A and B are shown apart, each in its own frame.
Chain A
Amino acid sequence: MSTLKSAELPLGASVPKSTPVGPPAASTPRHSIFVRITHWITTLCFFALVVTGAEIVVSHPRFYWGETGNVLTEPLFKIPIPSSRNLVPTGYGYVLPDQNGWSRALHFQTAWMLALTGSLYVIFSLITKHFRKNLLPGKADFSWRTCVGVIAHHLRFERPSDSDAWSYNVLQRITYLFVIFVLFPMVIWTGLALSPAFNSAFPATVNLLGGRQSARTLHFFISLALVLFLLVHVVLVWRAGFVNRMRAMITGQPSPRKEIL
Chain B
Amino acid sequence: MTNLSRRKLIATGLAATAGISGLGVAARLAQKYGLIPPDHGGLYGPGETLTYASMRLLTRHSLAREFSRSQISKRPLENEVAPFSEEFKRFQAAKFADWRLTVDGMVARPASFSIDQLKSYPSHSQITEVVCEEGWSYIAEWNGVPLSYILDLVGAHPQAKYVFYFSIEPDWWESMDMADALHPQTFLTYGMNGSELPVGNGGPLRVRLPRQLGYKSVKFINRLIVTDDVKKFGKGLGSVSPEGGYAWYAGI
Q: Which of B64, B71, B75, B247 contacts A105 (CB 8 A)?
A: B247
Flag if A59 contacts B244 (CB, 8 Å): no
Within residues 121 to 138 of chain B, which ones have a CB less than 8 A from any CB in chain A?
129, 131-138
Flag if A198 contacts B129 (CB, 8 Å): no
Q: Inside 8 A of A196's CB, which chain B residues have their CB?
A: 64, 129, 131, 210-213, 251-252
Q: Inside 8 A of B137's CB, which chain A residues have their CB?
A: 67-70, 212-213
Q: Inside 8 A of B71's CB, which chain A residues have their CB?
A: 67-68
A56 to B132, CA, bound (A): 12
Q: Which of A56, A70, A104, A201 contacts B247 (CB 8 A)?
A: A104
Q: Inside 8 A of B244's CB, which chain A residues have their CB?
A: 101
Given contacts A67-B71, A105-B47, contact A197 B211 (CB under 8 A): yes
Which of B12-20, B55-63, B94-102, B162-170 sits within the interface? B55-63
A57 to B73, CA, bound (A): 23
Flag if B135 contacts A200 (CB, 8 Å): no
Q: Who on chain B is nearest to A108 by CB?
A: B47
Q: How far is the CB of B234 from chain A (nearest CB, A)?
A: 16
Flag if A200 contacts B136 (CB, 8 Å): no
The listed residue with most B CB atoms (<10 A of its CB), out of A69, A197, A203, is: A197
Within residues 37 to 95 of chain B, which ones have a CB less than 8 A from any CB in chain A?
43-44, 46-48, 50-51, 55, 58-59, 62-65, 67, 71, 73, 75, 77, 79-80
The listed residue with most A CB atoms (<10 A of its CB), out of B55, B135, B210, is: B135
Q: Who on chain A is nearest to B71 by CB?
A: A67
Flag if B59 contacts A197 (CB, 8 Å): yes
Could you mark each residue 25-48 of chain A with 1 if its beta carbon is under 8 Å from any beta carbon of chain B, else 0?
Answer: 000000000000000000000000
Given contacts A71-B77, A200-B64, A200-B65, contact A60 B134 (CB under 8 A): yes
Q: Who on chain B is nearest to A86 by CB?
A: B80
- B245 in contact (CB, < 8 A): yes
- B246 in contact (CB, < 8 A): yes
Flag if B134 contacts A108 (CB, 8 Å): no
Given contacts A68-B73, A87-B79, contact A197 B55 (CB under 8 A): yes
A196 to B246, CA, bound (A): 16
The listed residue with most B CB atoms (<10 A of its CB), out of A69, A102, A199, is: A199
A8 to B46, CA, bound (A): 56
Q: Inside 8 A of B51's CB, which chain A residues have their CB?
A: 108, 112
- A100 in contact (CB, < 8 A): yes
The listed residue with most A CB atoms (<10 A of its CB), out of B131, B133, B136, is: B136
- A85 in contact (CB, < 8 A): yes
Q: How far is the CB of B8 from chain A (nearest CB, A)?
A: 15
The listed residue with most A CB atoms (<10 A of its CB), out of B47, B64, B77, B213, is: B47
Given contacts A59-B135, A200-B64, contact A105 B245 (CB under 8 A): yes
Q: Which of B129, B136, B252 contacts A60 (CB 8 A)?
A: B136
Q: Which of B75, B134, B212, B245 contacts A197 (CB 8 A)?
A: B212
Flag if A194 contacts B80 (CB, 8 Å): no
- B139 in contact (CB, < 8 A): yes
Flag if B65 contacts A104 (CB, 8 Å): no
A201 to B54, CA, bound (A): 12
> Which A-B residue pairs are the 4 nearest by beta carbons?
A101-B245, A109-B47, A197-B251, A105-B44
Q: List 25 A-B contacts (CB under 8 A).
A: A60-B134, A67-B71, A68-B137, A69-B136, A70-B136, A70-B137, A71-B136, A72-B77, A101-B244, A105-B48, A105-B246, A108-B48, A108-B51, A108-B252, A109-B46, A110-B47, A112-B51, A195-B252, A196-B131, A196-B211, A196-B212, A197-B55, A198-B251, A200-B64, A212-B137
